[in-house]
Amino acid sequence: MKKNVDLQPYNSFGFNATAKYFVEINNVDDLLQLINTPEFKAEKHLILSGGNNILFTNDCFDGIVILMNNKGIEIVHEDEGDVVVRAQAGEDWPEFVKQMVTKGFYGVENLAHIPGKVGAAPVQNIGAYGMELKDSFFQCHALNLATGKTRIFTNEACDFGYRESVFKHELKGQYIITSVDFLLHKQSELKLEYGNIKAYLEQNGIAEPTLQQLHDAICAIREAKLPDVKQIGSAGSFFKNPVISAEQFDALQKQYPDIPHYPDAEGMVKVPAGWLIEQAGWKGWRDDYVGVYEKQALVLVHYGGGKGEDIVSLSQRIQKSVEEKFGIQISPEVNFV
Ligand code: EPU
């Protein structure tokens, strides 16, 4: 266990914050040892994976930061049509997706190029281009930090929702996901319906994409729209897309006939927060330290030298102005610490 560790390299916003204690976990035994230490019993803790969805709002995390770094990918079941692949929590997510695509396994290809690690993917139920992690999630192993016992969580037990799971709510901070099993397929239809996937493929002369071509197209689309966190600090989408009632949507559509929208459960309508923020005039706004990404208004960025509080205050101003203009409340998908 190290003391006073700078967390700047461990959060994709690139903010400075010091961890009172910092420990890197390479296997389940490391975790079992950790939870029996006096420090663990006395201090609060923060589970850190890729640090791609976290905003440090203070200069110091007054507790133990646990960095998951256990590795390994293996096939645990295989039959004619399907395969169950187990990935350890510390595996890099986009590398995992790349490997599955290379092997010809269908089920995670639209989630290509999302920065992060495997263990955090179910917590957030990551999603993109018409696919969510829950679609291929079979089960995960997670360690109870109070008892040291491992529990298997089925898909149902995770209570997945839009960027939500039981690990963000009822069980927050209680379990560490140590590995995830994915149910993937040797044959499947590709999901090409979302946004500009088809247009991109057409432009590149691809009529019937292979699994690999779809993966590569999604990587290219993301690269064109989202900042490279190695260059500019960000946490991907900062807000969730709000879901509003059909009545509220109809009224808005009368005023803004071009408003993009997607049907959601129970007759509700999902509206892209990026569009609302752009219409409210924020796209490309910046000060010396932070701003709203010029190619995707849902992404707040840190240009360097700023503090987490700068993003908090920018996000509050954006929320206020979206609410004033549209009467819609948008809420962060990023976790504040
Ligand atoms: N839009 C604008 N202006 C903008 C941004 C978007 O008008 O500045 C409009 C677009 O024209 C489009 C609609 O909003 O009509 C949706 O935009 P986009 O396809 O870029 O997706 P998004 O809803 O902004 C979501 C996810 C992303 C994911 C993409 C692609 C959330 C919170 N975000 O963004 O996930 O990559 O769809 O599937 O659901 C993330 O969670 O960190 C993330 C990047």
The fold adopted by the segment(s) 233-336 is 3.90.78
Domain with CATH 3.30.43.10 in the chain: 2-68
Task: Name the nearest CA neighbour of 65 among 77, 74, 56.
Answer: 56
| Model pLDDT for residues 161-207, shown as the tens digit of each residue | 999 999 999 999 999 999 999 999 999 999 999 989 999 999 999 99
pLDDT at residue 220 tops 90? yes
Does the beta carbon of 272 sit less than 6 angstroms from any atom of ligand 1? yes
pLDDT at residue 128 tops 90? yes
Domain with CATH 3.90.78.10 in the chain: 233-336
User: Mapping DSSP to helix (H, G, I), strand (E, B) and coil, where does residue 36 land?
Assistant: coil
φ/ψ of residue 236, rounded to 5? 65, -145
Q: Average pLDDT of the chain?
A: 97
pLDDT at residue 229 tops 90? no
Q: What was the pLDDT predicted at 195?
A: 83
Give the nearest ligand 1 atom to 162 CA: 39
CA of 20 to the centre of ligand 1 (A): 36
Residue 222 among the catalytic residues: no
CA distances from 333 to 84, 238, 254 (A): 29, 6, 29
| Model pLDDT for residues 58-90, shown as the tens digit of each residue | 999 999 999 999 999 999 999 999 999 999 999
Q: Whose CA is nearest to atom 37 of ligand 1?
A: 128
Three-state secondary structure string covering 133-178: HHHCEEEEEEEECCCCCEEEEECHHHCCECCECHHHCCCCCCEEEE
CA of 36 to the centre of ligand 1 (A): 43
Query: Which tokens belong to 168?
Result: 């963000």
Does the beta carbon of 297 sit less than 6 angstroms from any atom of ligand 1? yes
Q: pLDDT band at 20, cuts 50/70/90?
A: very high
Give the nearest ligand 1 atom to 196 CA: 19
Residue 237 among the catalytic residues: yes
Query: Which tokens belong to 83?
Result: 């395969």
Q: Which CATH number fits domain 2-68: 3.40.50.11540, 3.40.1160.10, 3.40.50.300, 3.30.43.10?
A: 3.30.43.10
Q: What was the pLDDT predicted at 316?
A: 98
CA of 84 to the centre of ligand 1 (A): 30
Residue 163 among the catalytic residues: yes
Q: Whose CA is nearest to atom 22 of ligand 1?
A: 272
DSSP state of 113: T
Does the beta carbon of 13 sit less than 6 angstroms from any atom of ligand 1? no
What value does the mean pLDDT take over residues 228-233?
A: 92
The pTM assigned to this predicted structure is 0.95
Q: What was the pLDDT predicted at 230?
A: 87
Domain with CATH 3.30.465.10 in the chain: 73-185
Does the beta carbon of 285 sit less than 6 angstroms from any atom of ligand 1? no
| Model pLDDT for residues 45-58, shown as the tens digit of each residue | 999 999 999 999 99
The sheet carrying 137-144 orders its strands as 73-78, 82-88, 175-185, 137-144, 150-154
The fold adopted by the segment(s) 73-185 is 3.30.465
Give Dmax over CA atoms of the chain in angstroms: 61
Q: What was the pLDDT predicted at 110?
A: 98
